[in-house]
A and B are shown apart, each in its own frame.
Chain A
Amino acid sequence: MSNWETVIGLEVHVQLATNSKIFSASSTAFGAEPNTQASAIDLAMPGTLPVLNRAAVEYAVMFGLAIDAEIGMTSVFERKNYFYPDLPKGYQTTQLDKPIVGPGKVEIELADGSKKSVRIHHAHLEEDAGKSLHEDFHGMSGIDLNRAGTPLIEIVSEPDMRSAEEAVAFARKLHSIVTSIGICDGKMAQGSMRFDVNISVRPRGSDILGTRTETKNLNSFKFMQDAIALEVERQIDLLEEGGTVTQETRLYNGETRVARSMRSKEEANDYRYFPCPDLLPVVLSEVTVERLRSELPELPDARTARLASRYALSDYDAAQLGSDRATANYFEAVAANADPKLAANWMAGELAAQLNSAELTIEQSPISAEQLAALLQRISDNTLSSKMAREVFAALWAGETDVDAIIDQRGLRQVSDSGALAGMVAEVLAANAAMVADYLGTPEEKRKKKLGGFMGQIMKASKGQANPQQVNQILLEQLQALDV
């Protein structure tokens, strides 16, 4: 074990899944042509004023309720002043002293099955900035303000994490919570969740925090894991060589796996926060908060527990399915018409593998829950062997729609008629007397190995359509009968 202890705190920016921006009625849809979703307000045209989006407020409250936080019944927007081309007003409208979500906590589960509680310092509402495009326009940068004004909550954790693993588990849990309650689409690649990681190290046993650095804007769990490992190693190396860590903001490039200090943040800033005079205090009523509480969708932990008990799944399977709302919904739709355990296995196996390699989410799955359920039914009723089932799965994935039609067209029906199978087995045994003699001459404990040869012959005779479990059973019975 290292002599150093890692201390990690996260600041997580979560884009809220509203239709319109936090202070304007511009669309928040991703991927539009540059500046076609930048209205007069988003461009900070002179004389324009913000009006707050109700959905952004309610989504922030829902997050607070989901992490059992104190809700800021009166929250206040402030201006954070700095100049940057992607910040049209020259200040970001955000919250500071009176955030909408106060202290709360998030439970994380670690690989060894242990649990840990990470404290949330607060979460506040704010507006996203635009984007600077660094492609070269004759030595200039291009500014796209479509993203400017997209509502965010910034979730600030306490420095409670002690390893990259814990930090990633926390990040994944937040992803699970915000997507489960439907306040964020969770699309990491589109920047829907971005992580700033504050990292410091200290001698094990010390209770004084070391100097921290902040690595900004990580947008994948993998990058986060790698960036933390790299930064921890850098800091430890520095300290072990007798150096000191400089408090700074760093950027990690996930492609090149290199981190560097951010030049634009070198100059010490003085943000001159003050209450935004264009916005009034946001006052929540008990009625609103209670309504949001009663309407709050099921949280991941509760869903996992429910799946485990209702479908008799293992804790592991339930956690895999329960952490993501869309996955859980898909599972429940399959399990409504098929064996739940089989559904869990297929979702974790074949389906997950295919989705992964095609980079699709469960919601984009070309195979619907109904289709998968129909397929699983044909496994349960012994129509399909697992090998056949994979063939049907591939056909569904490729765009065919009807499971039974696929089975019929390809003649994939497995023979489960025990009379027919017994005949087939008897024929193969009769045609292979030497193999039978060899089998019967083998000591009982070693006979199992010899069964494969018979199975191969029988399956070949049945053109692959014999039900292997049944064949196995009948084969053993017939060989037993010969062993006298």
Chain B
Amino acid sequence: MDHEQLQKLATLSRLTITAEQQAPLATELDNVLALVDQLQAADTDGVAPMAHPLAIAQPLRSDIASASADRAAFQAIAPATEAGLYLVPKVID
């Protein structure tokens, strides 16, 4: 995994990779990819992908607005709030 790929993954994942971390991380990820590349040997022609262990359908909930939204309780554990809002650095569209 090269520098560019690693940085792209870091960006997608919103992680920072420092210069010192880069080389060992690349090796570790390459080792994992070598492991998972064993999958390529499997003959999966015509095999349906399995997303879920249970062959059941999604249950549906009645359309009743009953959830409590205890803002005070939820915001008591929030890093930064004001006037009932969660604060983040300026959002630029």
A and B, direct touch (CB closer than 8 Å): yes
Which A positions have Cβ atoms within 8 angstroms of B? 18-20, 24-29, 33-43, 45, 51-57, 76, 81, 83, 85-86, 132-134, 137, 139-145, 251, 262-264, 267, 270, 272, 275, 277, 279-283
Q: Is the beta-carbon distance between B71 and A35 smaller than 8 angstroms?
A: yes
Of the residues A38, A83, A133, A142, contact of B69 by C-beta under 8 Å: A38
Quick one: which of A39, A263, A264 has the most chain B CB within 10 A?
A39
Min CB gap B67→A, angstroms: 4
Q: Is the beta-carbon distance between A270 and B12 smaller than 8 angstroms?
A: yes
Contacts of A263 in B (CB 8 A): 92-93
Of the residues B59, B69, B80, B93, contact of A51 by C-beta under 8 Å: B59
Contacts of A139 in B (CB 8 A): 89-90
Q: Is the beta-carbon distance between B57 and A280 smaller than 8 angstroms?
A: yes
Q: Is the beta-carbon distance between A142 and B60 smaller than 8 angstroms?
A: no
Q: Is the beta-carbon distance between A142 and B86 smaller than 8 angstroms?
A: yes
Min CB gap A67→B, angstroms: 23
Q: Is the beta-carbon distance between B51 and A140 smaller than 8 angstroms?
A: no
Min CB gap B12→A, angstroms: 6
Q: Is the beta-carbon distance between B67 and A25 smaller than 8 angstroms?
A: yes
Q: Is the beta-carbon distance between A36 and B71 smaller than 8 angstroms?
A: yes
Name A88's closest neighbour in chain B (CB-CB).
Answer: B86
- Tell me the complex Cα distance, A57–B62, Å: 11
Q: Is the beta-carbon distance between B87 and A143 smaller than 8 angstroms?
A: yes
Of the residues A39, A144, A282, A283, contact of B68 by C-beta under 8 Å: A39
Q: Is the beta-carbon distance between A37 and B69 smaller than 8 angstroms?
A: yes
- Tell me the complex Cα distance, A165–B68, Å: 45
Q: Is the beta-carbon distance between A26 and B57 smaller than 8 angstroms?
A: no
Name A268's closest neighbour in chain B (CB-CB).
Answer: B8
CB-contacts of B43-78 with A (<8 A): 51-52, 54, 56-69, 71, 74-75
Min CB gap A262→B, angstroms: 6
Q: Given A85-B86, A140-B80, A280-B56, verify A38-B71 contact (CB < 8 Å).
A: yes
- Tell me the complex Cα distance, A270–B9, Å: 10
Q: Is the beta-carbon distance between B63 and A52 smaller than 8 angstroms?
A: no
Q: Is the beta-carbon distance between A134 and B65 smaller than 8 angstroms?
A: no
Q: Given A35-B86, A85-B91, verify A55-B63 contact (CB < 8 Å).
A: yes
B88 at the interface (CB under 8 A from A): yes
Q: Is the beta-carbon distance between A35 and B58 smaller than 8 angstroms?
A: no
Name B73's closest neighbour in chain A (CB-CB).
Answer: A40
B83 at the interface (CB under 8 A from A): yes
B35 at the interface (CB under 8 A from A): no
Of the residues B65, B69, B83, contact of A28 by C-beta under 8 Å: B65
Min CB gap B43→A, angstroms: 23
